[in-house]
């Protein structure tokens, strides 16, 4: 069980990892930035590479991206930036400054009094960084609404005032999923007070619903489910998008996106418009059902297929661990899997609750079988995996140890 796995089958090109001195990884965690987010389709990679050999007027390229974003989301306009996190900052900044370049240049040190960003306390999550940081980088001030597990209409109304620049609504598996103001109601209350609504929907499949429901700006990732190069998509009302784009003359300069990433993102968005989503979901479901069949009945483990908590059209396999029977913990198992070759990186952000999940959305050909075979072997002999008291702290601390340990042995 502790020996490296056999090399993957021929359909997966492991040569790139060896040529670059990198460890091999099978990602069943999801579209995680720390794993490179996703695998780009060859057409996307080709479009990204092709742009490298040419000069282009960036405003023209961004205008082309705007047309594709509008077709994708139903928004009036759109633009590209370095990441979804950058998109939050630029959207907040645009709502603070409007189309005034002098005010844009004054950020973040002098945003003016109308710079409060209202957000439900239960939405102040971390996604690898605190969402409050994305707001504050623009010079915005966070105005919390409600308590972590309960936000009420009157609390939102009371927070909206003459100093409110925008309200931010976060859609993520990291946020509290009960007691929050539903999005349509959130928009209704904010718009009645004349306040624009920004939606952070970085990892969402639903690219049209938030705009249709009244979002002034919606932010998506270009490199997660869409499989493009790293980038953030800002979609929304034309002048709101223009104000966010204007920030490239100041704080947005550090969030700029290159021609190659815009070109690759355009191709990824074009592919998304014609993607066979049903076929992709069927392949994911087949992997889940194989895993469930192969892992069911192993003492100490309960396996079940779970829907995505934000309503994305995808499911994951959850493996609940009974330490008294299994002889080890969920945290110890995910640590063990991550130490194999190739490493199998499971979804472990809630291992303190003694479960982990397998996400099939990023599997390369034949990897589902490798995962199933390996998990079956590991779980049947799980009592040999020592449970370290520190195992749960790594996932809980959000990968900080990896940052602190980087280059310490170089």
How many whole angstroms separate alpha carbon 393 and alpha carbon 355?
Answer: 15
Answer for the pair 198, 174: CB distance below 8 angstroms, yes or no. Answer: no
Nearest residue to 372 via CA among 309, 303, 322, 277: 303
Token pair recorded at residue 280: 């992709």
Residue 14 pLDDT > 80:
no
What distance in Å separates the CA atoms of residue 308 and residue 181, rounded to the nearest whole number?
Answer: 20
DSSP H or E run through 316: strand 315-321
Q: What CATH number does the domain located at 15-30+277-405 have?
A: 3.90.1150.180
Instruction: Find how far residue 241's CA is from the centre of its chain.
Output: 21
Residue 8 pLDDT exceeds 50: no
The rounded distance, in Å, linking the Cα atoms of 289 and 244 is: 44
Residues 6+ positions from 235 with CB-CB distance below 8 Å:
69, 70, 72, 73, 75, 77, 78, 207, 211, 217, 218, 219, 220, 241
Nearest-angstrom CA–CA distance, 163 and 157 = 13
Of 244, 242, 180, 190, the residue nearest 213 (C-alpha) = 190
Considering the segment(s) 42-274 as one domain, its CATH architecture is: 3-Layer(aba) Sandwich (3.40)
- Count the neighbouring beta carbons within 10 Å of the beta carbon of residue 171: 22
Question: Is the model's pLDDT at 130 over the cut of 70?
Answer: yes
pLDDT digits (tens, 9 = 90+) for 220-277: 998 888 788 899 999 999 999 999 999 999 999 999 999 999 999 999 999 988 888 8
Higher pLDDT, 403 or 299: 299
Domain ranges of the chain: 15-30+277-405, 42-274
Q: Which of 244, 225, 224 is nearest to 234 (CA)?
A: 244
Instruction: Give the model confidence (pLDDT) of 279-330 as tens digits.
Output: 888 888 999 999 999 999 999 999 999 888 777 778 899 999 999 998 999 9
In the DSSP assignment, the letter for residue 9 is: P
pLDDT tens per residue across span 69-125: 999 999 999 999 999 999 999 999 999 999 999 999 999 999 999 999 999 998 988
Decide whether 15-30+277-405 matches 42-274 in CATH topology. Answer: no
């Amino acid at each position: 069980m502790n020996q490296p796995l056999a090399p993957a089958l021929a359909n997966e090109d492991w040569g790139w990892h060896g040529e670059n001195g990198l460890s091999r990884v099978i990602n069943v965690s999801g579209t995680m930035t720390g794993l490179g987010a996703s695998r780009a389709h060859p057409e996307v990679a080709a479009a990204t590479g092709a742009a490298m050999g040419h000069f282009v007027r960036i405003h023209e390229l961004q205008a082309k991206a705007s047309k594709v974003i509008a077709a994708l989301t139903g928004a009036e306009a759109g633009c590209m930036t370095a990441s979804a996190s950058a998109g939050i900052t630029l959207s907040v900044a645009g709502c603070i400054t409007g189309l005034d370049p002098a005010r844009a240049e004054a950020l973040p040190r002098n945003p003016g009094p109308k710079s409060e960003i209202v957000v439900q306390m239960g939405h102040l999550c971390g996604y690898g960084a605190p969402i409050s940081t994305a707001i504050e980088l623009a010079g915005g001030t966070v105005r919390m609404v409600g308590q972590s597990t309960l936000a009420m209409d009157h609390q939102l109304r009371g927070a909206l005032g003459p100093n409110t620049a925008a309200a931010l609504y976060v859609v993520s598996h990291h946020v509290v999923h009960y007691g929050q103001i539903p999005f349509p109601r959130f928009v209704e209350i904010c718009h009645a007070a004349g306040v624009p609504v920004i939606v952070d929907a970085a990892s969402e499949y639903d690219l049209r619903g938030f705009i249709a429901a009244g979002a002034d700006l919606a932010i998506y990732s270009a490199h997660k489910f869409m499989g493009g190069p790293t980038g953030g998509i800002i979609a929304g009302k034309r002048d709101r998008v223009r104000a966010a784009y204007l920030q490239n003359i100041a704080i947005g300069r550090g969030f700029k996106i290159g021609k190659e990433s815009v070109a690759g993102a355009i191709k990824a968005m074009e592919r998304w418009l014609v993607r066979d989503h049903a076929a992709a979901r069927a392949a994911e479901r087949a992997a889940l059902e194989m895993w469930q069949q192969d892992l069911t009945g192993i003492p100490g483990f309960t396996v079940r297929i779970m829907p995505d908590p934000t309503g994305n059209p995808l499911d994951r396999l959850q493996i609940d661990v009974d330490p008294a029977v299994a002889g080890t913990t969920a945290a110890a198992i995910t640590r063990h899997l991550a130490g194999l070759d190739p490493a199998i990186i499971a979804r472990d952000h809630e291992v303190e609750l003694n479960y982990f999940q397998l996400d099939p959305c990023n599997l390369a050909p034949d990897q589902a079988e490798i995962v199933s075979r390996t998990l079956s072997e590991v779980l049947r002999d799980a009592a040999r995996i020592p449970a370290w008291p520190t195992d749960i702290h790594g996932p809980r601390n959000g990968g900080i140890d990896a940052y602190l340990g980087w280059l310490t042995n170089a």
